[in-house]
Structure 1
């Protein structure tokens, strides 16, 4: 397991020992501001303080792959959780964009935010994208319609300093503020689940537990590491650190947690014993901006994108088979948290966590023969494989239809059929019924399959020597013309929907432009009227002055008479 951290450069360490694996110095100026792993843990996207965002590969050795030149002044970036093709980026101008790695262009634009975006996060299934703004707003965008769905603000706070989405529950997002307040929202109901004055200073980072839906860890400049239970709305553990923490992230197993300090040190803690770190290693010489654990999802025949040497070429799709991971063990950490000097011997309850991507054999899971099924697991060693059972059933049915072979192989076939039928009835049949006997003149009678006893043996099932012939299912045949009509209908509907959306957007934009033009015309008319009023008042003043000091004929006669007297 790797953990990546950024400051003036990127460093990748082994968790939890802290052994340095890779170091990468970006060609851009200044420190790095944002980092994100791709879904398979093979790529990283870096956002520097100045310059274009950069995609690098960390498969065998770390190397540069591509600069995202189309987006100016990026501030943050994040890969989607379900695909490594798309990257969401925020900018200083408030733009939130989706960049397509395969086509190397901007795929979608979200509505512009009122201020600079400093953090973007995808929800668990990429249905929504959350963006934190410097003005204190948290904008929620719909990834399907690319519209603004909601806007949140922390109560009793005008700022936002940290943002995080739950890694498995798609409806939870959390945020922290410079006032020390932490809040969590349910985006499906647009309700504030809980908020708490968790810190006495700025909340620098928050993270959700990957194995618990109600546990959140927060850090702040008050040198406190706190764990908050959202369901009970209480703080379980609070640990005072030696220096101010700047970044935090949960290990995917839910037990370990990494905390980055202001002096560049990274502490590795066990959530069951938080009084001192298990490991402490020097990550950087300066303040660490962000730490993030490597994502590891194993898929069969996953599609990868390989960048060619020519920068003008688009990345090619490469099918890379990966090993299937059937299960992952995890431990309930909050039940084992302990801050004393000695960790008590508490038995650990191990559970198997399955995800959509780590499902193993879907057919085995569907019939209940996986490691999670207690009934199948109790008799796993004695059960034949599914393919062998189906072959035996087919052979028995074929033999039963032959009169000559029925009398010869009746005892053995009937015994085999009883054994196979007992196993299939416990695993495959959804309604737990088996056929007791078959007579063409009578209807088929069914009864519930008897449950397994404590010793794991089923009671004997009596069946008649005559075995019913199972009807073969007819394959559904669809003509090519029907396929063509279906595809045409779907394409038309999609095009119609997109055209309607485009029409509405154009309509709203034209209405906005028309409203702005009307406002400008009104402003122009008002300014002209003001000028006329000012000119009229100036003329009236001149007229009054002329009337008071006017030089008419009477004035001239009076002046002449006065001069004559002299």
Structure 2
């Protein structure tokens, strides 16, 4: 299960039938939602709209997502739940303050050292022992169990655009910048573990794999890059038609989703990333953030439907493992029908996406042809007077120069 936001919030899963179609939250204000953050058991979500006060939504019933608490602070510029609890929410402000809000007592329970610039993004480490605050050209890290002072600053050559801790390894933090560089820092030794320009325009999103050692990054240059951090080489790149604004990777490293400038959300299988599994037309405005729900650490894997994304390949494998005695029961027939429906829906979505891409290319080609004919027509008009003068030499000279100009184009 994952959520995407623009000026509304949509909650989705793969396959899409697992969630009701009305899993959507439309806030009273139409301003953009810049930040979303799940609590540890996914029962609540913190959101922040530009120029608005932070809200906490109840997501226990996905058919009735609603606001349960509004934090009375218009200066907040970033929010992030702690990974291991629903009680503590980190908030950063436009004037550089970083604080912890107690959602049970509904008050600020702790403040960290004040920074000199606005807080763009907050991010907890997987064990909640570190809190990163991204502001202008530096990522500032606080030790949450210490005295609240700045632990260290990680300076960059350009303004930072996104920050992400590793989901299972301590002391590994990735920072994306406006110049296209991605840097991975060791927050224990304060040294760079990786530094490379992966994009030609600002980096908009970063995700690190839990079990493998690869990095997914997105950028305003329309690219999704998957990089092997062991070799430093690119595993593959996806070039899309519009800027990519955000990315998130599922808990099991199998599925990743990207949010696009045109309001779409694309779902990809890491093993078959040539084409998206599904192209969701989610929003009418740019997607600002996408976020997978958290995994329940103590739950049985088969019962953890919240964080498990099931692909068509997984469903086929499950059916192959079914014993011969139960292979032809009514339940198996229903599974086959559901699988057939999922495959058909996936094919339909991909066909619609290809059709829209073809229409876009046809429009561009038609515009190019019209421009070429217009240029030739303008040249004919400019030289038409030569035919009336009867001056053959001027006529040939003018025609020859026009053909040379057209050849240069």
Per the normalisation by structure 1, the TM-score is 0.51
Q: Secondary structure at the match of 1:286?
A: coil
Task: Supply the RMSD in Å over aligned alpha carbons.
Answer: 2.0
What is the distance in 2 between the residues matched to 1:152 and 1:242? Answer: 33
Task: Supply the distance in 2 between the matched residues of 1:84 and 1:201 (Cα, whole angstroms).
Answer: 36
The residue that corresponds to 1:204 in the other structure is 204
Partner of 2:295: 296
Aligned equivalent of 1:25:
26
Answer with 1 or 2: which has the greater Rg.
1
Is 1:189 the counterpart of 2:192? The answer is no
Structure with more relative contact order (C-alpha pairs < 8 Å, separation 6 or more): 2
Distance verdict in 2 for CA 1:16–1:188, change over 3 Å: farther
Is 1:112 the equivalent of 2:114? yes
Alpha-carbon spacing, 1:327–1:211, altered in 2? closer, same or farther (3 Å): farther
* Residue-by-residue CA offset, 1:511-565 (whole Å, 9 max, x unaligned): xxxxxxxxxxxxxxxxxxxxxxxxxxxxxxxxxxxxxxxxxxxxxxxxxxxxxxx
> What is the match of residue 141 of structure 1?
142
Asked whether the equivalents of residues 51 and 74 of structure 2 are also in contact (C-alpha less than 8 Å), the reply is: no
Structure 1: tracts of 5 or more residues without a match:
300-322, 329-342, 348-566
1:83 — aligned with what? 85
Q: Deviations over 1:246-286 (max 9, x none)?
A: 11110122111101111011111111112111111111011
Match of 2:261 in 1: 262
Once the two structures are superposed, the pairs formed by residues 95-244 of structure 1 within 5 Å of their partners are: 95-133=97-135, 135-145=136-146, 146-154=148-156, 157-212=157-212, 214-244=213-243
The change in CA–CA distance for 1:265 and 1:326 in structure 2 (over 3 A counts) is closer
Counterparts in 2 of 1:203 and 1:51: CA distance versus 1, 3 Å: same
Q: Secondary structure at the match of 2:23?
A: strand
Q: Deviations over 1:324-349 (max 9, x none)?
A: 45999xxxxxxxxxxxxxx9xxx9xx
The question of whether the paired residues in 1 share the 8 Å contact of 2:113 and 2:149 is answered with yes
* Residue 45 of structure 2: aligned partner: 44
Counterpart in the other structure of 1:34: 35
C-alpha displacement at 1:224, in angstroms?
A: 1.1
After TM superposition, give the deviation of residue 234 of structure 1 in Å: 1.7
Distance 1:239 1:98 in 2: 38
Residues 17 and 37 from structure 1, CA distance in 2 versus in 1: closer, same or farther, beyond 3 angstroms? same
1:28, distance to aligned residue in structure 2 (A): 4.0
**Do the aligned partners of 1:16 and 1:279 also contact (CA within 8 Å) in 2?**
no
Q: 1:47–1:142: structure 2 CA closer, same or farther, 3 Å change rule?
A: same
CA contact under 8 A between 1:298 and 1:325: conserved in structure 2? no
Deviation at 1:127, TM superposition (A): 0.4
Distance 1:10 1:228 in 2: 30
1:250–1:282: structure 2 CA closer, same or farther, 3 Å change rule?
Answer: same
CA distance in 1, matches of 2:243, 2:74: 33
Counterpart-to-counterpart distance in 2, 1:42 and 1:259: 23
Q: Cα gap change, 1:298/1:233 in structure 2, threshold over 3 Å: closer, same or farther?
A: closer
How many residue pairs are counted as aligned between the two chains?
Answer: 301
Q: Are residues 241 and 29 of structure 1, via their aligned partners in 2, closer, same or farther at CA, if it must alter by over 3 Å? A: closer
Name the SS for the 1:52 alignment partner.
coil
Give deviations 1:375-434, integer Å, cap 9, x for gaps: xxxxxxxxxxxxxxxxxxxxxxxxxxxxxxxxxxxxxxxxxxxxxxxxxxxxxxxxxxxx
SS in 2 for 1:117: coil
State how far apart, in whole Å, the 2-side matches of 1:104 and 1:127 are: 22
- Is residue 2:89 matched to residue 1:63? no
> Which TM-score applies when normalising by structure 2?
0.70
2:16 counterpart SS class: coil
**1:136-535 alignment runs, 5 A limit:** 136-145=137-146, 146-154=148-156, 157-212=157-212, 214-297=213-296, 299=298, 324-325=300-301
Kept in 2: contact 1:215–1:228 (CA 8 A): yes
Give, in whole Å, the separation in 1 of the partners of 2:52 and 2:267: 33
Q: Which residue of 1 aligns with 2:55?
A: 54
- What's the counterpart of residue 411 of structure 1? none
Q: Is this contact kept in 2: 1:193–1:230, CA < 8 A?
A: no
Measured in 2, the distance between the counterparts of 1:324 and 1:222 equals 41
Q: Separation in 2 of the partners of 1:76 and 1:15? A: 29
Distance in 2, Cα, partners of 1:91 & 1:144: 21
Secondary structure of the residue aligned to 1:207 is strand
Task: Give 1:170 deviation, angstroms.
Answer: 2.1
